[in-house]
């Protein structure tokens, strides 16, 4: 049996390591945008659901009082009246949604924005009105 003078080399070559790193970089380039888009879609869906839930609470309030709550204390009136447990806030920055009512308080506009949902492809405002329902990407909040 003949013994070699040097040690046997074990491990990976530089080329093998570079190939593995290149494959991982390609996978990351493909997957990361998909994860970002999925998160943005989830945030947009949460906003839409929040606006619909607030609108349902406002309709309950209207059915009982024959007008909508005043814009200055609408969140407190909905919560204290038992129409909603707690008024949700924007999933992007936790700010309150915009609520506007007409002088007679017979209609309202709920909105979030502007341009908070650009990653979801929505620019402008997300608006909910009792007549028109949910509208995405409006350039401004319409009057009630």
Residues 78-83, mean pLDDT to the nearest whole number? 95
Confidence of residue 4 (pLDDT cuts 50, 70, 90): low
- The pTM is what? 0.78
Q: How far is CA 109 from CA 10, 38, 134, 140, in A?
A: 70, 28, 10, 12
pLDDT at site 6: 58
pLDDT at site 42: 92
Q: 109-133: per-residue pLDDT in tens?
A: 999 989 999 888 889 999 999 998 9
pLDDT at site 40: 87
Residues 71-88, mean pLDDT to the nearest whole number? 95
Domains of the chain by residue range: 14-138
131, burial (CB in 10 Å: exposed 0-12, middle 13-18, buried 19+): exposed
In this structure, of 2-6, 56-60, 85-89, 105-109, the range with the lowest mean pLDDT score is 2-6
Sign of CA dihedral 28, 29, 35, 36: positive
CB 112 within 8 A of CB 122: no
Confidence of residue 81 (pLDDT cuts 50, 70, 90): very high
Q: 11-69: per-residue pLDDT in tens?
A: 889 999 999 999 999 999 999 988 888 888 899 999 999 999 999 999 999 999 999 99
pLDDT at site 133: 92
pLDDT at site 26: 93
pLDDT at site 73: 93
């Amino acid at each position: 049996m003949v013994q070699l003078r040097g040690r046997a080399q074990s491990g990976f070559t530089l080329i093998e390591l570079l190939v593995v790193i290149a494959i991982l970089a390609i996978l990351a380039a493909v997957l990361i945008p998909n994860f970002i888009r999925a998160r943005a879609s989830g945030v947009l869906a949460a906003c839409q659901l929040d606006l619909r839930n607030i609108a349902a609470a406002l309709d309950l309030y209207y059915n009982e009082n024959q007008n909508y709550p005043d814009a200055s204390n609408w969140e407190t009136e909905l919560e204290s009246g038992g129409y909603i447990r707690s008024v949700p806030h924007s999933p992007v920055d936790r700010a309150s949604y915009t609520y506007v009512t007409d002088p007679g308080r017979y209609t309202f506009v709920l909105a979030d924005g502007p341009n908070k949902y650009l990653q979801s492809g929505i620019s402008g405002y997300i608006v909910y009105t009792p007549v028109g329902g949910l509208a995405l990407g409006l350039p401004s909040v319409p009057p009630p």
